[in-house]
């Protein structure tokens, strides 16, 4: 038995033809959907990048206890468990957050790994002389980070030089070399279509549009203040990058055909979250409520055991289901701390595995959906308190916690999933303050764009019951209930 997970970062469900998009060219996603089960109710769990990847490893929600960080000493890592079970596990990725302190030990959970450098502000090449790069739309990002991105682009000039292209070339090498071998799991993961939207000209030219403003392919995480022409421009360069992702996905599908991998190889194609492209008046993610443009994700599964192809699945599934799905496929034990469920039966017959699912970011709204309704519970205080991080690995995205953040550390009692370990309890303010948006309730059937919040006390009570039940199952810290005004 073999398995491949092809993962894209920030892949937008609404830009893919199998989910109804009629203007972005994604023929290979259409081809994939004809050969797999397409999940129509797939949702994120924890946001953003590394919190989502912790869920892929552990099958547990991350966001109620901590934000961005590495695999904890008490975590059960799915690829590590597969390796212990005798499965060869290999990671190929250009997702540079794996090589930073905040994600420093995810790749080492695989039996082997290959990294491709050069995405975004990856501190890859050192080029000291001054050089010209385009004047851009003003950004909140630091000048050194922006300059590093343009240094990297100097080395990614030809289509085959782009990090995604090099990543999939290594993936092709792995699949050709191991097509006749058994008992392996490959994670083939690219940072694209994450911003900035650097894309070869051949893909950009597929989306002609009128725009004569400054260079703009890297929107900030903030409200939209740009012109409609600028918004359309960003949507077009994002579309071009989705088409580039589709092109490289096609390389994998070609090998599935030519190497006869459909016969006995599980294929999962997924993402960590979506991205706002001006909807709701916002760019990006994390700064605003997690509307469906971010939270509702694409997911495709080909399972050679049931061989379901060309079918859509309506059952509610989440990121936390990927770890148990892979463990179950290889016959490896599923640890008792796993909250997700294997997707074998859901892929085969659309068998439901949950009534509702949580999602969110540390310190943000705590959200719950049952597939039709989405309830976003905001903190009751403008200060967004009380809030703590619980971790033995105190890191942010790029570096460890500053010593000023560590002055009031206490040791917390063990949680149900920490295997008797007491974690650090560190006062936190989260990434944002969702209090200003308030608590929101949406009916996705009658208001799919989430433009008209409901006022329905009985429905809110039902959704609150779902939320509390799931928080308890996650052994959420006591202060999370207090922060949300739940007694």
**pLDDT digits 0-9 by tens, 162-184:** 999 999 999 999 999 999 999 99
Task: Say if residue 29 is in the same domain as residue 102.
Answer: yes
CB within 8 Å of 354: residues ≥ 6 apart: 316, 317, 318, 341
Predicted pLDDT at 180: 97
CATH assignment of the domain containing 107: 3.40.720.10
**pLDDT digits 0-9 by tens, 51-68:** 999 999 999 999 999 999
Task: Say if residue 369 is in the same domain as residue 330.
Answer: no
Task: Say whether pTM exceeds 0.75.
Answer: yes
User: Which of 336, 351, 366 is the last residue before a domain boundary?
Assistant: 351
Pseudo-torsion of CA 394, 400, 404, 406, nearest 10°? 20
Residue 421 has pLDDT above 80, yes or no: yes
CATH assignment of the domain containing 388: 3.30.1120
Spatial distance between the Cα atoms of 294 and 43, rounded to a whole number of angstroms: 9
Predicted pLDDT at 215: 94
Do 256 and 304 contact (CB within 8 A), yes or no? Answer: no
**pLDDT digits 0-9 by tens, 426-439:** 999 877 789 999 99
- Read off the pLDDT band of 143 (50, 70, 90): confident
Mean pLDDT across the chain? 97
Spatial distance between the Cα atoms of 308 and 35, rounded to a whole number of angstroms: 8
Task: Say if residue 362 is in the same domain as residue 305.
Answer: no
Structurally, the chain folds into a number of domains equal to 2
Task: Say if residue 365 is in the same domain as residue 345.
Answer: no
User: Which of 351, 380, 408 is the last residue before a domain boundary?
Assistant: 351
Task: Say if residue 199 is in the same domain as residue 183.
Answer: yes
Task: Say if residue 344 is in the same domain as residue 370.
Answer: no
CA distances from 92 to 6, 89, 108, 166, 276 (A): 10, 10, 12, 10, 27
- Which structural domain, as residue segments, surrounds residue 472? 358-484
Predicted pLDDT at 141: 83
CB within 8 Å of 15: residues ≥ 6 apart: 21, 24, 26, 238, 239, 242
Predicted pLDDT at 478: 97
Task: Say if residue 64 is in the same domain as residue 105.
Answer: yes
Q: Cα 276 to the chain's mean position, in Å?
A: 14
Q: What percent of the chain has pLDDT over 70?
A: 100
Task: Say if residue 363 is in the same domain as residue 326.
Answer: no
Predicted pLDDT at 221: 94
The region, left, alpha or beta by phi > 0 then psi within -120 to 50, assigned to residue 350 is: left
CA distances from 481 to 340, 380, 385 (A): 22, 10, 11
Task: Say if residue 310 is in the same domain as residue 295.
Answer: yes
Task: Say if residue 422 is in the same domain as residue 336.
Answer: no
Task: Say if residue 302 is in the same domain as residue 383.
Answer: no
Give the residue-averaged pLDDT of 314-339: 98
Task: Say if residue 345 is in the same domain as residue 368.
Answer: no
CA proximity to 428, closest of 392, 472, 384, 474: 384
User: Which of 311, 334, 351 is the last residue before a domain boundary?
Assistant: 351
The pairing of beta strand 311-313 with beta strand 276-277? unpaired
């Amino acid at each position: 038995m073999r398995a491949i997970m092809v993962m894209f970062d920030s892949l937008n469900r609404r830009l893919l033809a199998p989910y109804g998009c009629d203007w972005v060219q994604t023929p290979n996603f259409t081809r994939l959907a004809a050969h797999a089960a397409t999940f129509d109710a797939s949702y994120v769990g924890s946001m953003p990048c590394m919190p989502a990847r912790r869920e892929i490893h552990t099958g547990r929600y991350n966001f109620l206890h901590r934000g961005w960080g590495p695999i904890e000493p008490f975590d059960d890592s799915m690829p590590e468990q597969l390796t212990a079970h005798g499965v060869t596990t290999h990671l190929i990725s250009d997702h540079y957050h794996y090589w930073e302190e905040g994600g420093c030990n995810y790749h080492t959970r695989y039996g082997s790994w290959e990294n491709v450098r050069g995405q975004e502000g990856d501190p890859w090449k050192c080029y000291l002389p001054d050089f010209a790069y385009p004047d851009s739309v003003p950004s909140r990002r630091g000048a050194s980070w922006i300059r590093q991105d343009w240094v990297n682009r100097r080395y990614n000039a030809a289509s085959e030089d782009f990090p995604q292209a090099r990543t999939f070339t290594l993936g092709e090498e792995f699949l050709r070399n191991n097509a006749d071998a058994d008992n392996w799991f490959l994670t083939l993961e690219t940072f694209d279509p994450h911003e900035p939207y650097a894309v070869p000209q051949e893909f950009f030219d597929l989306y002609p549009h009128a725009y004569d403003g400054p260079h703009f392919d890297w929107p900030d995480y903030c409200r939209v203040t740009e012109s409609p022409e600028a918004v359309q421009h960003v949507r077009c360069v994002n579309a071009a990058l989705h088409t580039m992702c589709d092109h490289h996905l096609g390389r994998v599908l070609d090998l599935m055909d030519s190497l006869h991998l459909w016969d006995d190889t599980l294929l999962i194609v997924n993402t960590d979250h979506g991205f706002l492209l001006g909807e709701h008046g916002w760019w990006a993610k994390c700064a605003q409520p997690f509307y469906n443009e971010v939270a509702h994700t694409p997911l495709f599964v080909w399972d050679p055991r049931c061989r379901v192809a060309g079918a859509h699945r309506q059952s509610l599934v989440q990121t936390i289901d990927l770890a148990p799905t892979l463990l179950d496929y290889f016959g490896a034990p599923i640890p008792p701390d796993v909250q997700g469920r294997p997707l074998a039966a859901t892929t085969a017959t659309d068998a439901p595995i949950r009534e509702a699912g949580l999602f969110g970011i540390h310190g943000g709204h705590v959200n719950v959906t049952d597939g039709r309704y989405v309830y976003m519970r905001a903190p009751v205080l403008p200060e967004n308190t009380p809030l703590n991080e619980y971790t033995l690995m105190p890191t942010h995205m790029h570096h460890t916690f500053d010593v000023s953040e560590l002055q009031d550390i206490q040791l917390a009692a063990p949680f149900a999933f920490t295997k008797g370990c007491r974690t650090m309890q560190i006062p936190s303010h989260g990434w944002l303050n969702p209090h200003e948006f308030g608590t929101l309730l949406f009916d996705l059937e009658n208001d799919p764009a989430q433009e008209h919040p409901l006022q329905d006390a009985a429905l809110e009570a039902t959704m609150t019951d779902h939320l509390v039940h799931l928080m308890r199952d996650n052994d959420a810290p006591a202060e999370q209930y207090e922060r949300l005004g739940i007694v």
